[in-house]
Every structure is written in C-alpha cells, then in structure tokens.
Amino acid sequence: MEKIDWKVDGMTCSNCALTISKYLQKEGMKDVKVNPIDGRVSFENPDKETAKLRSGISNLGYSVLSASDNGHGHNHDHENFRTKFFGNNKKRFLFCLPFTLVLMLHMFDKWLAIDWLMNPWLQLGLCLPVFIVGMDYFGRSAINSLKNRVPNMNVLIALGATAAFAYSLTGAILGLGHDYLFFETAASIITLVFLGNYMEDVSIQSTQRAVKS
C-alpha cells in the first residue's frame, strides 16, 4: 500500500478538509488525514492512479501544489499552478481591487463629480470581471461542495455575491433606478474575501516559517 503526502491549496475551513477527506475515503483511500491549517493531505493508496485523485481534488475546487508519492510523484502541478494568472489569492485580489474601488466611488457622488459612474451599464461592466473571477473560484468550490453534500463557506460567499449581482442586473435591465443597483456590493464581497484569504495565507506561511526556525 502506497503512502501519499500532498500539499493542497484552497482549504479555508474545517468543512474544506472534510470535503477532501470524504472524497478520498469514497475513492477507497485509507488512513486519510487532512489539515486545513497547513494544507497537508496524507493517505494510503491501495491501487488507485494518483493522477485521477489529483484531478478529483481539482474538480472540488482545490489545487494540489506538490506531491510526494514515495519518490514517484511529480511537481508539475506546482509549476503549472504558479504560472496561472489567477493562481493564488493575492493575484485574484489585486485583479479585483481596481474595479471595486472605482465602483465604490459612486457612494461619494455628493462630494465628487462622478455622474458618469451612475450609468448602470458602466457599473455592470466594472463588476462583471470581478464577478467572473469570484464565481470561477467561490462558485465552483460551492457547487462541488454541494455535490459532495458537504457545503463549505464558499456557498455563502457565492450566494451573497450572486444575489447582489442578480438584483442589480434586474434593476439595470428594467430601468428601476439607482436604488436597485448594488454592483459594488457584489464586487466588494468577492474582493474582501480574496483579501481575507490572502491575509490568512500570509499568516499561515509566517507561522510555518517560525515553527521551522
């Protein structure tokens, strides 16, 4: 029986760890141990192809950064992950931040001459890139967690952002006025959670360095 030791990115709570643990157990893995703090995942593999297991974890919304399969693993996942444009929470946050800051300017229309920003279609255009990036991460993770009957915190994030976006889109299409536009709310939810996840990543890395030293 082969001993597998992986580093998995994307876990933000105990439910995330439970999701991965249940998936591996369902695939027949033994002695499954998942640590959401440092991302360590270890288990004993009877005879399953590890590439399929990595793919399955990826479909759940997580990423295998590195793998050690008794000397037979590969680190291509880590390299490919780093080359992705939205490969980590810092990159996602920095991408979303400018759009969100511009959207939030309309809250200061009494002090700033920004009538151009009150256009609902302009707000939609500014919010859409943030919403797409957010749903690609939070939405996919939420759907996969629901499929596995282990809802995680990304379900709430996706629901909140989607509700604000759908409500605003309806208001824009029907011409209901500015009181029905909450595009900045949808963008803020996504951007701030990415910031929180990034700060958590930094904290974990700092703790790990302190422990190693």
Same domain flag for 138 and 33: no
Residue with tokens 């990826």: 58
Q: Return the pLDDT at 73.
A: 42
Q: Which of 49, 54, 97 is nearest to 78 (CA)?
A: 54
Same domain flag for 205 and 105: yes
Same domain flag for 104 and 46: no
Same domain flag for 93 and 121: yes
Tokens of 192: 């701030």
Alpha helices, DSSP H only, in 31-88?
Answer: 50-59, 76-83
Q: How many domains does the chain have?
A: 2
The whole-model pTM stands at: 0.76
Alpha helices, DSSP H only, in the chain?
Answer: 14-26, 50-59, 76-83, 89-104, 120-134, 140-147, 153-174, 183-212
Taking each helix axis from N to C terminus, what angle separates 153-174 and 140-147, rounded to the nearest 10 degrees? 120
Residue pair 201/211 in contact (Cβ under 8 Å)? The answer is no
Same domain flag for 135 and 205: yes
- At residue 5, the 3 state secondary structure works out as strand
pLDDT category of residue 204 using cuts at 50, 70 and 90: confident
The residue that leads in pLDDT, 159 or 1, is 159
Same domain flag for 92 and 165: yes
CATH number at residue 29: 3.30.70.100
Share of the chain above pLDDT 90, in %: 34
For the ranges 18-22, 49-53, 146-150, 171-175, the one whose mean pLDDT is highest: 171-175
Q: Return the pLDDT at 125.
A: 96
DSSP string, 107-132: GGTTTS--GGGG-HHHHHHHHHHHHH
Average pLDDT, the chain: 83
Owning domain of residue 6: 2-81
Same domain flag for 66 and 138: no
Q: Return the pLDDT at 84.
A: 58
pLDDT digits (tens, 9 = 90+) for 138-179: 998 888 878 877 788 889 999 999 999 999 999 999 999 888
Residue pair 47/54 in contact (Cβ under 8 Å)? The answer is no
Same domain flag for 100 and 180: yes
The residue that leads in pLDDT, 56 or 81, is 56
Same domain flag for 125 and 201: yes
The residue that leads in pLDDT, 69 or 136, is 136
The residue that leads in pLDDT, 170 or 70, is 170
pLDDT category of residue 124 using cuts at 50, 70 and 90: very high
Residue pair 115/105 in contact (Cβ under 8 Å)? The answer is no
On the 0-12 / 13-18 / 19+ scale of CB atoms within 10 A, 122 is middle
Residue pair 191/100 in contact (Cβ under 8 Å)? The answer is yes
Same domain flag for 196 and 98: yes
